[in-house]
Structure 1
Amino acid sequence: MSKRILLIEDDREISQLIASHLKQENYTVVAAFDGEEAAELFRKEKFDLILLDLMLPKVSGMDLLKQIRETSVVPVLIISAKDSDLDKALGLGFGADDYVSKPFSIIELTARVQAAIRRATQYIQAESEPASHTIQYKDVILDLHTFSAQVRGQNVQLTSKEFHILKLFFTHQSRVFTKEQIYQLIWEDDYFGNENVINVHIRRLREKIEEDPSTPEYIRTIWGIGYKLGV
């Protein structure tokens, strides 16, 4: 069964271009042209990925993203002409998995779609041994089947990127990762020195799992190098 993508873009010409190309790659694409229509489609149907423009009529892309993240960890890729560091930081901070600035290469966009869907599905495949379904460090448990996390006995909703970053640290407990390595391993893309993407995700992750994010016990900063698990 082909993967289903909700494409939210008010420019019908751009929407048609993206949809046509993704359909050639065997994706099922459902198009919405404003925030209200998109919210209704999201409530009624199941999607494997969302492509979201920020500048939408009726309901803004940022507000729509916040609504989506209240109930779902479906991968969300922002596609927007608003390409300032602040806009990117806000989008990633509210739970987007990636940010593609307009104008973009349709080939690059397709590659990012493929990578996001692959990352979101690879950890929910059934494992042969029940013991391999979870990874635990201190008071945090990651469930690789349900793509969920428990922190001190409470369910905590992580985005796809946050989950994969945490899994990376949990499975390499003594290793220090540079920001470049984290980006290449999680985003599966070349790193162009945009530290803001990594900083935002680490900050949001700390806010969700740390008792005191200002003095983290789980994700430690190794100054001048990167991050490691707090052991």
Structure 2
Amino acid sequence: MTERSTRILLVDDEQSIQALLSYPLRRDGYEVVQATDGREALARFEERPFDLVVLDVMLPQLDGLEVCRRLRSRSSVPIIMLTAKSEEIDKVVGLEIGADDYITKPFSMREFRSRVKAALRRSELSRSAERDGGSLDVHELRIDPDKRTVSLRGEAITTTFVEFEILLTLARSPGRVFTRDMLLARVWGDSAYRDPRTIDVHIRHLREKIERDAKEPEYLFTVRGVGYRFRDTDASS
């Protein structure tokens, strides 16, 4: 059976942006399916599998944030959001509802292609799932790298792709301090073009999911002025 080409759903209501982004993607060998509003994007997503979604925030019918929320409720497909420079709040909200990355307009084609390749590379690594060792059990938390699942006190915890990667990276090196740039490089392959504060958003969201009290964490600790660390495996509580 012939393997299909990597398929990308490109969602933007501006024809000029569609043309600008579709050309380099197709030149790189990707199949590009276009949608120009939120409802069409959801319809296209139901028709066939996708390896990546590139999603503008400002869309007719349903905005990009709502589309992202609905996609994330049914799929772990990587999502890159396109935002205007003035829409800082949309970046934060987008990350919190499950976007894996965002690109601020205007952006260079080199940056765009770099982000797309990094997202697809992460997704491929996830699918191949040749992970080291079995489940990680720490206190009341279990992380299963092969199944890409997280459970707390026996209850399943839903994480985005990026949240899972950050948690797994930290948990595999208990007690080790990771800077934001180190985490960016581990999860995205590099820290180029990315705001280190992106890590803070994902850490905050993870704490809301796995900590009894996000202000008094048991698992994810802040090392002020440096970055973050996971609890030591010999911690007593």
TM-score normalised by length of structure 1:
0.91
The answer as to whether partners of 1:5 and 1:29 remain within 8 angstroms in 2 is yes
Residue of structure 1 in register with 2:79 after alignment = 76
Residue of structure 2 in register with 1:161 after alignment = 162
Q: Provide the rounded CA distance (Å) in 1 between the counterparts of 2:37 and 2:15.
A: 11
Structure 1 pair 40/121, CA: closer, same or farther in 2 (3 Å)? same
Structural mapping, 1:90-169, within 5 Å: 90-127=93-130, 132-169=133-170
Residue of structure 2 in register with 1:35 after alignment = 38
One-letter amino acid matched to 1:69: R
| 2:92 corresponds to which of 81, 89, 93 | 89
| 2:54 corresponds to which of 51, 54, 59 | 51
- 1:74-126 deviation per Cα after TM superposition (whole angstroms, max 9, x unaligned): 11001122444322111111111111011111221111111111112213325
- 1:187-206 deviation per Cα after TM superposition (whole angstroms, max 9, x unaligned): 22336783431111100111
Q: Provide the rounded CA distance (Å) in 2 between the counterparts of 1:123 and 1:190.
A: 20
Q: Provide the rounded CA distance (Å) in 1 between the counterparts of 2:38 and 2:129.
A: 35
| 2:67 corresponds to which of 64, 67, 70 | 64
1:19 matches 2:32: no
Structure 1 pair 191/117, CA: closer, same or farther in 2 (3 Å)? closer
Give the match's secondary structure for 2:23. helix
One-letter amino acid matched to 1:52: L
Give the match's secondary structure for 1:70. helix
Of the structure 1 ranges 178-187 and 48-57, higher mean CA displacement relative to structure 2 is found in: 178-187
Q: How far is 1:47 from its partner?
A: 0.9
1:205 matches 2:206: yes
Q: Provide the rounded CA distance (Å) in 2 between the counterparts of 1:8 and 1:212.
A: 38
Q: Provide the rounded CA distance (Å) in 2 between the counterparts of 1:61 and 1:223.
A: 34
Residue of structure 2 in register with 1:8 after alignment = 11
Instruction: Provide the identity percentage.
Output: 38
Please list every run of 5 or more consecutive structure 2 residues that lacks an aligned counterpart in the other structure: 233-237
Q: Provide the rounded CA distance (Å) in 2 between the counterparts of 1:193 and 1:97.
A: 12
The answer as to whether partners of 2:83 and 2:90 remain within 8 angstroms in 1 is no
Q: Provide the rounded CA distance (Å) in 1 between the counterparts of 2:149 and 2:30.
A: 26
Residue of structure 2 in register with 1:188 after alignment = 189
Q: How far is 1:141 from its partner?
A: 2.4
Residue of structure 1 in register with 2:175 after alignment = 174
Give the match's secondary structure for 2:127. coil
Task: Spell out structure 1 runs of 4+ moving beyond 6 A.
Answer: none
Of the structure 1 ranges 96-105 and 115-124, higher mean CA displacement relative to structure 2 is found in: 115-124
